[in-house]
Amino acid sequence: MTEWCQRGHRFQAAIGRAGAGKTTTVAACADAWTAAGYRVVGAAVKGEATRTLAATIGIECETVAWYLAHTDPHNLPLDARTVLVIDEASTLSDRDLDALMTMAATTGASLRLIGDPAQHGAIAAGGMFRVLCDRHPRYTPELTTTHRLQDPHDRAAAQALREGRIDEAFDQLAAARHLHVVGDDLTMYRHVLGRWWDAHREGLDHPMVDRRNSTRRQLNRLAHLLRRVNGELGVDEIAASGDRTFAVGDRVTARAPNRDLHVDGDRHAYVRNGALGTVVAIHVDWRDRAREALTVAFDGIGRIDIPRSFFDHHRTPAGRPEVGIDHAYALTSYAVQGSTRDVSTSRADATATRAETYVDITRGRQANHLYLTAATDPLDGEALPRVPPAPADLAVAERLHRSTGEMTAWELAHPANRAETDRAIGF
């Protein structure tokens, strides 16, 4: 990464493909910058990604939202001897990227962006990280060798999918016996849950991944019941909204951050979005359910008491409904981006995108299983004639062929940039 350390640009992007050693490379760059007398700090959109970056590299890290909350121009958290590294930069919205660039320009700091345009983009309008990479290839170093994936067919499948060769990607997964075409969702639930259970009994870290929250909730409910009937969870349970129950031993994830919920005596060890943990105690109050709570031992953070007002459905200050804590047996594709697991099992149908499918099949060291199903028919149950659906593998392949990266407003507003984008947007 000599290119990243010595060019001297105020802003510079780098591409780190899935499993290519991005964190290790950033750590080496941070050591070089520190040795040269610079202060190196990090940021990411997701709180758990920020914590992992800090723990792995050993630098001070905060969320992007934390940096952007500093609006006083006389008290900004950067200066001319600071290098700010943004991890998972593809998930950065265009507005936030612009605000960070403005802050860096104002203070004289340097901004380094690293991520993968082939993976998930921002939830809000985004895509400018990809544009920066596409328009400045000479100054955009890229980590291309995937070290995470141990199966050669998985590696070949990831490369083919990234380059838009969908049929070849499916062929490679099939050669590894990691591609499974099932006829309906009931079969998918049975197979995916069975594969998860087998890996769980072998001690392998193995989330089930699906893009739909409804499917994720069903898989989580079934996994919780399976662990319960096999005696792996505590006898007592605490009921939660959405037909959920939690018991001692349950694996959970934080689906929202909360800085007010933290380890006793350490306000920096707070609940971060995406954090994983294990329920170690439940606190039931039959007289006042509002006083009930869970105690969760979060990985890398510590034990935190979680009140019902957070783990139940509630509204954020902005008015958005959410649950703060949920089971972690099944996760969305967006939630697992940036993580490394022993095995991965995911489902794709004809509504999937190439970015999320690429994320799904690059999480597992040992194996990455992909289940293909037909998309849910929105007219199911209606007395209307329907064209017979295409087989699941053909329908998903066609969808992934058509799936491209997010077009930015800047590209749409400048037709001269459209042809250049069309050549690069297929990843």
- Give pLDDT tens digits for 73-88: 889 999 999 999 999 9
Closest to 47 measured CA to CA, from 276, 319, 327: 276
Q: Which range marks the domain in which residue 167 is found?
A: 152-333
Q: Are residues 213 and 323 in the same domain?
A: yes
Helix, strand, or coil here: 61?
strand
- Choosing from 143, 178, 204, the residue where a domain stops is 143
Cα distance between residue 399 and residue 388, in whole Å: 17
Note whether 303 and 169 are same-domain residues: yes
Considering the domain architecture, whether residues 193 and 320 belong to the same structural domain is answered as yes
Q: CA-CA distance, 32 to 248, in Å (whole number)?
A: 45
Higher pLDDT, 227 or 7: 227
Task: Quote the pTM value.
Answer: 0.88
Q: Are residues 137 and 266 in the same domain?
A: no
46 shares its domain with 99: yes
Same domain, 165 and 306: yes
Q: Cα 151 to chain center, whole Å? A: 22
More confident position, 296 or 389: 296
pLDDT(136) > 70: yes
58 lies in the same domain as 92:
yes
Least confident stretch, 37-46, 204-213, 387-396: 387-396
Domain boundary among 297, 318, 333: 333
Of 308, 333, 358, which residue is a domain's last?
333
Residue 158, domain member (yes or no): yes
291 in the same domain as 215 = yes
Q: Strand 208-209 vs strand 330-331: parallel, antiparallel, or unpaired?
A: parallel
Model pLDDT, residue 405:
72
Q: Would you say residue 311 lies in a domain?
A: yes
Q: What's the confidence (pLDDT) of residue 426? A: 42
Q: Is residue 363 part of a domain?
A: no
Q: Please report the pLDDT score of residue 13 as a whole number.
A: 95
**pLDDT tens sequence across 120-129:** 988 888 889 9
Residue 78 lies in a domain: yes
Please indicate, yes or no, if residue 19 is contained in any of the structural domains: yes
* Domain CATH for 103: 3.40.50.300
207 shares a domain with 121 = no
Residue 386 lies in a domain: no
The per-residue pLDDT for 423 is: 46
Task: Identify whether residues 131 and 160 lie together within a single domain.
Answer: no
191 and 324 assigned to the same domain: yes
Is there a domain that residue 403 lies in?
A: no
CA distance to 169, 218, 361, per residue, from 162 (Å): 9, 30, 11
Q: What is the mean pLDDT of residues 399-404?
A: 81
pLDDT band at 382 (very low <50, low <70, confident <90, very high): low
What value does the mean pLDDT take over residues 193-207? 92
Q: Between vectors from CA 252 to CA 250 and to CA 255, what angle results, nearest 5°?
A: 160
Q: Is the pLDDT of residue 427 over 50?
A: no
What digits encode the pLDDT tens for the residues 5-32?
877 889 999 999 999 989 899 999 999 9
Most distant pair of Cα atoms in the chain: their distance: 72
Report the C-alpha gap between 179 and 166 in whole angstroms: 13
**Is residue 53 included in any domain, yes or no?**
yes
Distance of CA 236 to the CA centre of its chain: 32
The verdict on 312 and 208 lying in the same domain is yes
Q: Comparing 69-73, 104-108, 255-259, 406-410, which segment has the lowest mean pLDDT?
A: 406-410
pLDDT value for 1: 67
Burial class (CB in 10 A: 0-12, 13-18, 19+), 362: buried
pLDDT tens digits, 330-361: 999 989 998 899 999 999 988 899 999 999 99
Ramachandran assignment for 19, one of left (phi > 0), alpha (psi -120 to 50 degrees), beta (any other) = left
- Structural domain total, the chain: 2
Is pLDDT at 37 greater than 60 in this prediction?
A: yes
Strand runs labelled E in 151-292: 179-181, 208-209, 237-240, 244-247, 251-254, 258-263, 266-271, 276-283
